[in-house]
Amino acid sequence: MGWKDHPVIVAALTAAATLAFSTTVILPIWTKVQDNRIEEYQLSEKGLKERVEVAESLAAELSRLNKIMTAEGTFRINDRYPKGLRDLKLGDTVDSLKRKYPNAKDEDENYWFNINIKDNSVFKGVSYHYSDKTQKITGILYFFKDPDVPAKGGASHQQSAMLEQVKYAFPDAEVVEVKRGKELIYELYQNKTILLRINLAGVSLL
């Protein structure tokens, strides 16, 4: 029996061959498998995170929409002035506005009074436009809280929700969609007279 056939030598050579095979073949395969598993986990984690972010964003939008939709009494039947903001109307005098808001100022002298609102669930502010000649209110714009960005060429959540409320208050009104550039505006008419407009900023009366 030659030295190569000695059991100890055979065992050593077998072990060396096994180690070499493991190092050159099995180990790279195992490493690749582990790398793939790590990559799959990372992709899965990333996908889950993205789905959570989308769900949270959708929940926030639905919450904002629901807040507007459930703001009971924002508009009464056949009354285009919102809840909590019915004291001043088109045709009222500037003096009556100043009595209501003693600190209001037409700072830019452009015939607009801008008023901030703190206790309204739908609107954050209101602007009153007046005629310099008659000193009477000729236009009102109620500004939405947290206005969002609509889908391209579409209406925002605030616009859609407000439209439903206004249609409920004026069931016989005609709704006309107007496109101005990329903005979609809703106009409501009754007996061919415009009642109000719903744009991205809010609700306006003319």
Residue 83 forms part of a structural domain: no
81 assigned to some structural domain: no
113 and 193 inside one domain: yes
| Judgement on whether residues 66 and 100 belong to the same structural domain of the protein | no
Q: What is the pLDDT of residues 162-171, one digit of tens each?
A: 998 899 899 9
pLDDT band at 1; cut points 50, 70, 90: low
**What pLDDT score does 115 carry?**
93
Q: What span, in angstroms and rounded, lies between the C-alpha atoms of 49 and 60? A: 16
Q: CA dihedral in degrees (42, 46, 47, 48; nearest 10)?
A: 100
Same domain, 100 and 64: no
Predicted TM-score (pTM) above 0.75: no
**First CA to last CA distance, the chain:** 113
**Hey, how many other C-beta atoms are within 10 angstroms of the C-beta on 6?**
11
Are 110 and 193 contained in the same domain? yes
Query: What share of the chain has pLDDT > 90, as a percent?
Result: 39
Q: How far apart are CA 21 and CA 24, in angstroms?
A: 5
> Which range marks the domain in which residue 45 is found?
1-71
Q: Which residue has the higher pLDDT, 36 or 4?
A: 36
Whether residues 121 and 189 share a domain: the answer is yes
- Is the same domain home to 13 and 67? yes
Same-domain check for residues 96 and 34 = no
> Which of 36, 71, 106 delimits the end of a domain?
71
The verdict on residue 87 lying in a domain is no
Alpha helices in 115-156 (DSSP H): none
For residue 114, being part of any structural domain is answered with yes
Number of structural domains in the chain: 2
Structure tokens at 62: 């639905």
Note the pLDDT tens digit of each residue in 18-72: 445 455 655 566 677 777 778 777 767 666 677 777 777 766 666 655 555 554 5
